[in-house]
Amino acid sequence: MKGQKLLKVCSILLIIGGALNVLFGAIGAAAGAVVGAFILIVPFIIAAIQLAAGIVGVKTSNEPGEDSFRTAMTLIVLMIIFSLVYSIYNLAQTTGMYAGFSGAAVANILLGLLVPALYLVGLLQYRSALSERQHRHEHV
């Protein structure tokens, strides 16, 4: 069904990414590379939301329901918001140090939003396809 595979693939990528973010965040914190509570806490919040969105996305792609669609939508929007805020914060820190925008930093922000954006597209396409399918069955 349209959007189902895209949702499932992006969900799996979010689970992998979330697990890696937790791991790298823990290593960074243990190594003392992270300074300040904001820099320490926000990546873990993003990783937790990322993991949750991935798990809910896989569940929704297998067993769709209005509650799971709503939960998946809420989680992915939260993840996008937190990721944007954190990325802008990091970009501001980087540009302050180097007095100019880094192309790599901007590319990192865009790539970091690619999978969540595709997840959102897949979620909306799948929900629409299911709704359309249900509507056709009701009129038969």
Reported as a single tens digit per residue, the pLDDT across 28-53 is: 677 665 555 666 777 888 899 999 99
Do the domain assignments include residue 39? yes
Do the domain assignments include residue 66? yes
Do the domain assignments include residue 107? yes
Task: Report how far residue 72's alpha carbon sits from residue 75's, in angstroms, rounded to the nearest whole number.
Answer: 5
* Domain span including residue 120: 4-135
**CA nearest neighbour of 6 among 72, 79, 80:** 72
Do the domain assignments include residue 140? no
For position 26, what pLDDT does the model report?
77
Beta strands in the chain (DSSP E): none
Phi-psi region of 42 (alpha: psi -120 to 50; beta: other; left: phi over 0): alpha
Per-residue confidence band for 85, with pLDDT thresholds at 50, 70 and 90 = confident
Asked if the model's pLDDT at residue 114 lies above 60, the reply is yes
What is the number of domains present in the chain?
A: 1
